[in-house]
């Protein structure tokens, strides 16, 4: 009986052990299956992530290429602008040099013309002097020497004994340039013009004006010395 009992217990133990081993194997298979599924899921996620990352990288690379192209285009445009600016700058520099040269030539011509008139006047060539002074007045009416040329034209007429024309120009000059340094001299020449024409009363009147208006002038002093 005891033997039967022991044999039964042994059988139960074997069965229990087999059952435990079977359950353990199932659990192990289940755990492995879950693990494998998770690994597959992670692998699929990794592939999706890799695809997404590659897509981002491609777009980034394309954007960088576009930026590089835009930068190259900008550099080309800047180079073109710089080149054009250099051309324009060179043009204006050449224009400035040319203008400066032309201005220098014009100034030399202006000075030469007034000097030529003065030299002709001093040498007694009053026809040439009158021609030069009149040309100067027409060509350079706003210059500093225009007033001088104006007076010298009238004085040239006086020396050419064209007294009527000299009178008109001297009166015009005095009325327009009463404040100039040549105003006293213009009155003096006007008085002399009347003297040459035998108009003593008008001559005396003009000389009196000269003394009253410009008592300290060289022309007034000359009158006093000459006893006019």
Question: pLDDT tens across 187-210, in order?
Answer: 999 999 999 999 999 999 999 999
Q: Per-residue pLDDT tens for 109-141?
A: 999 999 999 999 999 999 999 999 999 999 999
> What does DSSP assign to residue 143?
S
Question: In sequence order, which ranges of the chain are alpha helices (DSSP H)?
Answer: 2-122, 126-139, 146-159, 163-176, 183-196, 200-213, 218-226
**Who contacts 133 (Cβ-Cβ below 8 Å, separation ≥6)?**
114, 117, 121, 149, 150, 152, 153, 156
- Per the listing, tokens 């007294």 go with 163
Per-residue pLDDT, 206: 97
In which band, very low, low, confident or very high, does the pLDDT at 178 lie, cut at 50, 70 and 90?
very high
pLDDT at residue 61 in the model = 79
> What pLDDT is recorded for position 2?
55
Contacts of 150 (CB under 8 A, 6+ apart): 133, 137, 169, 173, 177, 182
Q: How far apart are CA 201 and CA 214, in angstroms?
A: 20
Q: Which domains does the chain have, with CATH numbers?
A: 104-226 (1.25.40.10)
CA–CA separation, 19 and 15 (whole Å) = 6
């Amino acid at each position: 009986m005891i033997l039967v009992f022991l044999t039964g217990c042994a059988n139960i133990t074997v069965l229990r052990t087999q059952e435990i081993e079977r359950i353990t194997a199932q659990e192990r298979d289940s755990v492995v299956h879950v693990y494998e599924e998770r690994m597959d899921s992670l692998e699929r996620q990794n592939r999706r992530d890799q695809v997404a990352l590659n897509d981002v990288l491609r777009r980034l690379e394309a954007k960088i290429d576009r930026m590089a192209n835009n930068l190259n285009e900008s550099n080309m445009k800047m180079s073109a602008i710089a080149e054009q600016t250099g051309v324009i700058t060179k043009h204006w520099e050449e224009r400035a040099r040319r203008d400066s040269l032309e201005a220098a030539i014009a100034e030399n011509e202006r000075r030469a013309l007034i000097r030529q008139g003065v030299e002709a006047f001093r040498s007694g060539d009053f026809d040439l002097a009158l021609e030069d002074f009149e040309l100067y007045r027409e060509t350079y009416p706003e210059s500093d020497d225009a007033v001088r040329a104006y007076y010298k034209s009238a004085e040239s007429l006086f020396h050419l004994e064209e007294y009527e024309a000299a009178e008109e120009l001297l009166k015009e000059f005095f009325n327009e340039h009463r404040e100039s340094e040549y105003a006293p001299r213009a009155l003096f020449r006007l008085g002399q013009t009347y003297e040459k024409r035998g108009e003593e009363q008008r001559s005396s009147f003009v000389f009196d004006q000269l003394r009253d208006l410009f008592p300290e002038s060289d022309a007034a002093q000359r009158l006093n010395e000459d006893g006019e």
